[in-house]
Amino acid sequence: MLGEDVSVRSSARPLAALVAALTLTAGLFAAGAPASARTGEAAPMAEASDVSIAADTYDWKNVRIDGGGFVPGIVFNRSEKNLAYARTDIGGAYRWDQTGKQWTPLLDWVDWDHWGWSGVVSLASDSADPDKVYAAVGTYTNSWDPANGAVLRSSDRGATWKASTLPFKLGGNMPGRGMGERLAVDPNKNTVLYLGAPSGKGLWRSTDSGVTWSQVTAFPNPGNYAQDPTDTSGYGNDNQGIVWVTFDERTGGAGSATQDIYVGVADKENTVYRSTDGGATWSRIAGQPTGYLAHKGVLDSDNGYLYLTLSDTGGPYDGGKGRIWRYTTATGEWKDVSPVAEADTYYGFSGLSVDRQQPGTLMATAYSSWWPDTQIFRSTDSGATWTQAWDYSGYPNRTNRYTQDVSSVPWLTWGANPAPPETTPKLGWMTEALEIDPFDSNRMMYGTGATVYGTENLKNWDAGSQFRITPMVKGLEETAVNDLASPPSGAPLLSALGDIGGFRHTGLDAVPSMMFTSPNLTSTTSLDFAESSPGTVVRVGSADAAPHIGFSTDNGANWFQGSEPSGVTGGGTVAAAADGSGFVWSPEGVGVQHTTGYGSSWSASTGIPAGATVESDRKNPKKFYGYKSGTLYLSTDGGATFTAKASSGLPTEGNVRFKAVPGIEGDVWLAGGSTTGAYGLWHSTDSGATFTKLSGVEQADSVGFGKAAAGASYQTLFVTAKIGGVRGVFRSTDAGTGWTRINDDAHQWGWIGASITGDPRVYGRVYVSTNGRGIMYGDSSDSDGGGTDPGTDPGTDPGNPPGDAACSVTYDVTNQWSGGFQADVTFTNTGDTALDGWRLGWTFPDGQKVTQMWNATSTQDGAKVTAANVSWNGKVAAGASAGFGLTGTLSGGNGRPAAFTMDDEVCTVG
């Protein structure tokens, strides 16, 4: 039996408690004292250094793009209206917010060490208890992901989570990830769950609501299909395993386990199995179709039909042939109910849903119909006849049963102007998820490789009029970010993204009108602007053919294609001279190159190895830097020649990123390394001739600069790093002497090492890259730039706050469900002196009980609650703020506390 249990949450909690919790056993995290107290762990002790850490309260949001990645799964709860979830392959899970018609992220708490848990291979919403939701997480089944997979469980709709780690890996970003759902809750006995595993690990079952798991040894077939058996990386040659589980709820009763269970297997000759005795024994269903994999298996319980969508491959990109079959559970009859002849398919079928309000109505998708468009099929007679979303009306013209409006996400047109029968926007591609709302026959959502589309007048299809498709993706941000730049004028942010190129963000809370075009790069790997002439911008990236580089003279609003040296195969990195007079490019396929003007011709740089990362000095237009394998290279002639400079003690392995400080010649910061060698943050003030390692920064992965604090002469420094034993996003206003952690454990976003930059125009604002959760930006509560309070070393007794401390408090309920709620509390020190430790008190008006608190410790006596600082956020400068969060239980109302006190002094309530 598997029983390791980890308490995790989508709200702030000290990171050290999360890491320490990995050694704990199931059941330890019952409601009661805060997690940090229950683990017996104090706050992390700082390693010996001269660094101090303070904490600042930041407001975090996504820079809006809306979508940008593959959504392989959408799950509606079958017993509560408007409760729906979406899963992504690398960007976590989301819950639908009907009020705002947007998605709420649920896994932003996933930390650096468990970045793989941002990949969600399956979701299950409990229809017997809608507060419960489960997620099977893990990104890769091979060595790329060092951690095993886990099943996360929540009893408050994803506000907080607990995790049971598995003895194998899961693959949210592996081939076959659009099949499913692999995770399922027994609708009659909701303590029973099943999980289909990859890699030959078979079928697994939990009988205690996902706390512990054991293999179903009676299940006879762990699967045998791999996308590419010749691949030796562990990616294409992995057995895709058990791919879906479906219950026939008619064969059980409330509290009694469902007897008939259907399981899909990645085996072209044996793709469907059934148990008729609650999972005790299993057998292959006779007469089933062969030569295909069943991507989905959905049961229409009103008429007893099990439908299969089949493809000759596992997807999500491939698939050349497909079928749809129907199984009559009462008689055992199999019937091919495909909408087109097998000879006419050039795609596989995957997306599949039945209308729970209209028995006999079902829909399916041709997920791998890349050209001219995906196809969606609909039947109202259990598959006997079908209609499709579009038809040819004399090739190449087509007639659509739908209209499509992407004005809310205009870049979905890709700026394209295709010839018929292609259209823009497309109906989609990689359409492996399609769900009809079980409570509303008019609403349907489906996932694509770039967004979630949906309709709210689907029944128009049957009435012979057009139904309307729009993006239903607001709040779901799924881009992988490679590079970020914030110029001193023009747009506040320029982004380099995987899969959709990148954007000029003229407003952070508005969806950009179009990605970068001319050229269209599938993934932008690097971009830069000229520091003293920020209208000049350059970007490089991946493309099917040349060019791999583009230039702009108007701050990225318009672009023109550059020429490139022979042999370029990928973008690499690029740097612009401080005045825009020239560029240095280190592309894939050839060595480092330099040019003057806008790249009409390129010349090979000398003295620097191929594949080096290149950056420019932000003051001297003739200076460029390169780095590879532990050596910093310097050019003083515009990139024509380089000379090896510092190498002693610098990292020779791992990811290394470095940048020069704007306005100061020769001032360079370097972050990177690996746990098996040098790892940290280094600073040079002599153009890389020498570097000094910051002793207090244990690890660092990216570095950037922003507007200086009030009274400071040096730009604000931002890093993603491990400082004082804590992983996070840090800020320094004194060139790295003191550090402030500016994220919290609710906002970690897995792996965030690719890029970070401050905003040169807004003090405290920072932009952080994620690998699947888009671009995050944070604004400080210390908006006046009053400098950095050095805070207290972690582990130091914060002592007592000074007397007569003035304060103001805001208390916001951020989430509420049946029997429970979540709240955020922020207090501001309105006095003239810093607080050296704090203790905030209040009385709940309706008998609420605190169950967990993070970024503070709590005690409760009846309705009276006291929250005290933890060791790393005890100091709060005059005018600064601190915040914490909590979850609690309800027995009646949920009124706000009328008053708050700081050591018996009454605070102002906001």
Catalytic (active-site) positions: 89, 499
Which two three-digit tokens encode residue 876? 């709060």
C-alpha 721/C-alpha 680 separation (Å) is 8
C-alpha 547/C-alpha 891 separation (Å) is 64
**Whether 534 contacts 518, CB under 8 Å:** no
User: CA-based angle 469:474:479, to the nearest 5?
Assistant: 105
C-alpha 57/C-alpha 60 separation (Å) is 10
**Whether 241 contacts 200, CB under 8 Å:** yes
C-alpha 17/C-alpha 734 separation (Å) is 29
C-alpha 186/C-alpha 256 separation (Å) is 9
Q: What is the largest distance, in Å, between two alpha-carbon atoms of the chain?
A: 84
Kindly give the pairing relationship between strand 402-404 and strand 467-471: parallel
C-alpha 427/C-alpha 442 separation (Å) is 18
Residue 242's nearest CA partner among 294, 206, 190, 313 is 294
Residue whose tokens read 């005690």:
859
Which two three-digit tokens encode residue 768? 């952080």
Which two three-digit tokens encode residue 361? 């109505």
Residue whose tokens read 């320490």:
20
Task: Please compute, for residue 693, the number of CA atoms within 13 A of its CA located in the half-sphere on the CB side.
Answer: 18
Which two three-digit tokens encode residue 24? 């704990």
Kindly give the pairing relationship between strand 908-909 and strand 807-817: parallel
Q: Compute φ and ψ for 445, nearest 5 degrees.
A: -125, 145
Q: Compute φ and ψ for 78, nearest 5 degrees.
A: -85, -10
3-state DSSP: the chain helix, strand, coil percent, rounded to 5? Answer: 5, 40, 55
DSSP state of 344: G
**Whether 392 contacts 372, CB under 8 Å:** no
C-alpha 824/C-alpha 816 separation (Å) is 12
DSSP state of 17: H
C-alpha 280/C-alpha 288 separation (Å) is 22
Kindly give the pairing relationship between strand 775-780 and strand 766-769: antiparallel
DSSP state of 188: S
**Whether 276 contacts 259, CB under 8 Å:** yes
Helices (H), 93-156: none
Burial of 417 (0-12, 13-18, 19+ CB in 10 A): exposed
Which two three-digit tokens encode residue 333? 């009859």
Q: Three-class SS of residue 39?
A: helix
Which residues, 6 or more positions from 596, have their beta carbon under 8 angstroms from its beta carbon?
581, 582, 638
Contacts within 8 Å (CB) and 24+ apart, 467-470: 467/401, 467/402, 467/403, 468/402, 468/403, 468/404, 468/405, 469/402, 469/403, 469/404, 469/405, 469/427, 470/404, 470/405, 470/406, 470/408
Which residues, 6 or more positions from 118, have their beta carbon under 8 angstroms from its beta carbon?
90, 91, 92, 107, 110, 137, 139, 172, 749, 750, 751, 771, 772, 773
Kindly give the pairing relationship between strand 293-300 and strand 283-284: unpaired
